[in-house]
Structure 1
C-alpha cells in the first residue's frame, strides 16, 4: 500500500478522534501498528497532523476567538478568558518539554497500555457522566483561574497514550462544576495552544527528517484531519447535548477490549 494512502487513513483517524474523548493518540498508534508502520517517522507524522484538526476549532470558533483578540486591550472578560487558557496550558507545556523523549520512546511503544487506558477511561466517563457534581458554570469563556489550573493538571494525564486529552480535560472540568457542553468547548479552546506547542516541539526536533520528503505526507494528513474534524466537532456537541458522554465511554471500552483480545491472540 502506498504511503499516501497510509497518510489519508491516519488523517481520517485523527480527524475522527481528536475531539471525542476516545484518545486520538492511542487510536493513531493502534492504527499505525495495525498497518505495520514501524518507521519512527510515522510517530512524528501522528503528532504533526494533529494541528490540522486543531485548525478546525479555529475555523469553527473564529468569530468568538477573534472578538476576544480585538477586546483584549479593553475588556477584562476577554483578558480573563485568554489567561484561563494560558493557565490551563502551562502544566502540560512544562511536563511535555521535560518528558518528551520518555513519552515518545517508551509510552508510544506500548499498545497494551493504550488498550488498558481506553477501558479505564471509558469507565471513568460513564461514572462522571452519571455522578458528576451539579454544574455551576455554563460558559467555557468565563471559567475561574483555579478551575482552569485544575483542568490543566488533568490534561497532563493525556501524556499516557490511551488517556484522551479531551476526555481528561472534560472529566476535570465536570468535577469542577462545569456544564457538559461548556466542558467540551473549553477542551476545544485548550487544544489550540496545546497541540500547537506539541507540533512546534516535534517539528523542531525532527526538522532534518522532515526536510527530506516527509512534508508531503504530513500535508496530506493535515488536510484530511482538518476536513474530517470540522464535521466531528459539530456532531460531538450535538451528542453531548442530547446524550452526554456515556456513548463515548462505551465506545472506549469496546475499542480497548477488542484491542486487548487481539493482543492476547497474537
Structure 2
C-alpha cells in the first residue's frame, strides 16, 4: 500500500461509514481495483481506520453519549451478538473480505430492501401526542434485537449502519432514533473489531513497520475528519427523505460491479 492508496481508502471510509451503502464494501471494491485487497496489511487497514470515522460520533454527540449508565448497559447488550458471532465466524469473515462479488450481490439485495423500508415502517414516523416516546424509546430487548441485526453486516456489502438502522425500525423506532443508536453502537463495535484485528495480525506473526503505523494514524485522522462532515448531512437527509436514494445507488453499483467483473475487468484480489 502506498500513502496515496491509504488516503483514498480513508476518504472512502469517512464518506460511507454512516451511509447505508457499506463502507467495508466500498473499500473492498477500491482496494480490488488498486490490486491491493489481498494484502494482509490492507485488510487490517480497512478495519482499523473505521475506528477513526466512528470516533466522530463522540465529538458530535458527546453530551448524549455520556448521558447515563443505563444507556451504556443498553449499548453493551446490543454489542454482545457481534462479539459472539465475530469470534465464531472470524475465518469466514476474513475470506468474505476478499470477495468483491459477495459485495456486489449484497449491495443489490440490500438496495431492494432499502427501496421498500420507508413504506414498511411508515407508521414509525407518525408522532403520537398521547405517547410522545412511542418511536424513540429503546428497551434492553430492543437493543439486543438491533445487535443481532448489526451482525448481518459481517457479510461485506451489507452495511453495518444500514442493518442496525433497519433493525431499529423493525422495533418501531423512527428513522432518526434508529440511526443515532446505530451510530452509538458503532463505537464499542469498532473498538472491539480493531482490537481483535490487531491481535490476529500479531498472532499470525506479522509486525507493523514504521510506515504502516504512519498509514494507520493518517488513515484514522482522515476518516475522522471526513466523517465529521458527512454524518450530520446524512441524519438531516434521512429524517426528511428516507432510504430510497441509497437503495437505487446500491442496486446500480452492484449491477455495475457484476458487469465490470464479467465483461470488462475481473475483480479479483490477486
TM-score (normalizing by structure 2)? 0.89
Give the 3-state SS of the residue equivalent to 1:178 in structure 2.
coil
Between stretches 223-232 and 204-213, larger displacement belongs to: 204-213
Instruction: State whether residues 14 and 225 of structure 2, in contact with CA within 8 Å, keep that contact through their aligned partners in structure 1.
Output: yes
Give the 3-state SS of the residue equivalent to 2:156 in structure 1.
coil
Shift in CA distance, 137/186, structure 1 to aligned 2, threshold 3 Å: farther
Alpha-carbon deviations, 1:173-227, whole Å to 9, x = none? 1111000011110100000000110001011222363532311111111111001
Instruction: State whether residues 49 and 216 of structure 2, in contact with CA within 8 Å, keep that contact through their aligned partners in structure 1.
Output: yes
Distance in 2, Cα, partners of 1:210 & 1:13? 26
1:83 corresponds in structure 2 to: 73
Greater fraction of residues in helix: 1
Say yes or no: does 1:145 pair with 2:140: yes
Instruction: State whether residues 65 and 184 of structure 2, in contact with CA within 8 Å, keep that contact through their aligned partners in structure 1.
Output: no
Between stretches 167-176 and 205-214, larger displacement belongs to: 205-214
2:208 corresponds in structure 1 to: 211
For residue 235 of structure 1, the aligned residue among 230, 233, 257 is 233
1:160 corresponds in structure 2 to: 155
1:75 corresponds in structure 2 to: none
Instruction: State whether residues 115 and 255 of structure 1, in contact with CA within 8 Å, keep that contact through their aligned partners in structure 2.
Output: yes
For residue 102 of structure 2, the aligned residue among 109, 113, 133 is 113
1:23 corresponds in structure 2 to: 22
For this pair of structures, how many residues does the alignment match? 252
Please list every run of 5 or more consecutive structure 2 residues that lacks an aligned counterpart in the other structure.
125-132, 266-270
Distance in 2, Cα, partners of 1:79 & 1:222? 28
Q: Which runs of 4+ in 1 moved over 6 A?
A: none
1:103 corresponds in structure 2 to: 93
TM-score (normalizing by structure 1)? 0.91
For residue 83 of structure 2, the aligned residue among 93, 99, 107 is 93
In the TM superposition, residue 243 of structure 1 has moved relative to its aligned partner by 0.4
Instruction: State whether residues 128 and 171 of structure 1, in contact with CA within 8 Å, keep that contact through their aligned partners in structure 2.
Output: yes
For residue 196 of structure 1, the aligned residue among 171, 177, 191 is 191
Give the 3-state SS of the residue equivalent to 2:209 in structure 1.
helix
Distance in 2, Cα, partners of 1:145 & 1:250? 33
Give the 3-state SS of the residue equivalent to 2:123 in structure 1.
coil
Say yes or no: does 1:131 pair with 2:120: yes
1:260 corresponds in structure 2 to: 258
